[in-house]
Amino acid sequence: MNDDNRYFYEPSKGHGLPHDPLSAIIGPRPIGWISSRNAQGQRNLAPYSFFNCFNYRPPIIGFSSIGWKDSVANIAETKEFIWNLATRELAEKMNQSSVVLPNSEDEFNFSGLTATPGTIVAADRVVESPVNFECKLSQLIQLQGANGDKIDSWLVLGEVVAVHIAKHLLSAQGEYLTSDAEPILRAGGPTAYYSITEANRFDLQRPKAP
């Protein structure tokens, strides 16, 4: 039953709005700032707004790419990549790295960022980023609709095999200080981002079964 107080649409028939609300509703979302190399060693760096963490042990993170882009092609070849935390300080450079460059050009150089080789995987960390996850590919999945038809989107899942954290983001008790890193998150529309601050924190205790 439709509610007159609700805007209703079926995505397959279009949303009828100036901007697709999906990415604004499912948001803000962490940014998958992914660095990789192809088989010849050429570097690539690109941000993805469909990104998250999916498992603790082993730690698995993943991002989805609409289209077979350089990041996906590189990871399919080498089976390795690095995730770099995007922060408020690095927001402009992260955005610069989204530019479409010829394969022979380097997003690190274009964005004014420093690359250093991973400790375990053959990809490069963003030195300026305070947190980096080195990952090995665990699954590469082509997405499909409910009718089984394959679509041109690819889910890349990787096991985190090495973690780099700037020491100033760890408290004396060893707790990671999320807000001190000032991570940025992608929201809806063509330009919207948000940042995390301590002022927006609230705490909830998990309930116990009665």
Q: How many CB atoms lie within 10 A of CB 75?
A: 26
Structural domains of the chain sorted by starting position, each given as residue range(s) with its CATH number in brackets: 21-195 (2.30.110.10)
Residues 140 and 76 sit within 8 Å (Cβ to Cβ): yes
- Three-state DSSP state, 175: coil
pTM: 0.94
Nearest partner of 108 among 122, 134, 127, judged by Cα: 127
pLDDT digits (tens, 9 = 90+) for 95-119: 999 999 988 899 999 999 999 999 9
Q: What is the pLDDT of residues 38-92, one digit of tens each?
A: 999 999 999 999 999 999 999 999 999 999 999 999 999 999 999 999 999 999 9
Q: How far apart are CA 67 and CA 138, in angstroms?
A: 19
Query: What tokens were used for 52?
Result: 């998250």
Q: Residue with structure tokens 């995730």?
A: 83
Distance (Å, rounded) from C-alpha 25 to C-alpha 47? 20
pLDDT band at 23 (very low <50, low <70, confident <90, very high): confident
The pLDDT tens digits of the residues spanning 158-201 come to 999 999 999 999 999 999 999 999 999 999 888 999 999 999 99
Q: Is the model's pLDDT at 1 over the cut of 60?
A: no
pLDDT exceeds cutoff 90 at 150: yes
Give the closest residue to 61 by CA, choosing from 86, 31, 90, 41. Answer: 31
Count of CB atoms situated within 10 Å of the CB of 90: 23
**For residue 186, is it left (φ>0), alpha (ψ between -120 and 50) or beta?**
beta
Structure-token match 């289209």, residue found = 67
Q: Is 65 helix (H, G, I), strand (E, B) or coil?
A: strand
> Region 136-161: what's the mean pLDDT?
98
Kindly report, residue by residue over 158-170, the tens digit of the pLDDT.
999 999 999 999 9
Check if the beta carbon of residue 156 is closer than 8 Å to that of residue 64: yes
**Adjacent-strand bridge partners of 84:** 33, 132
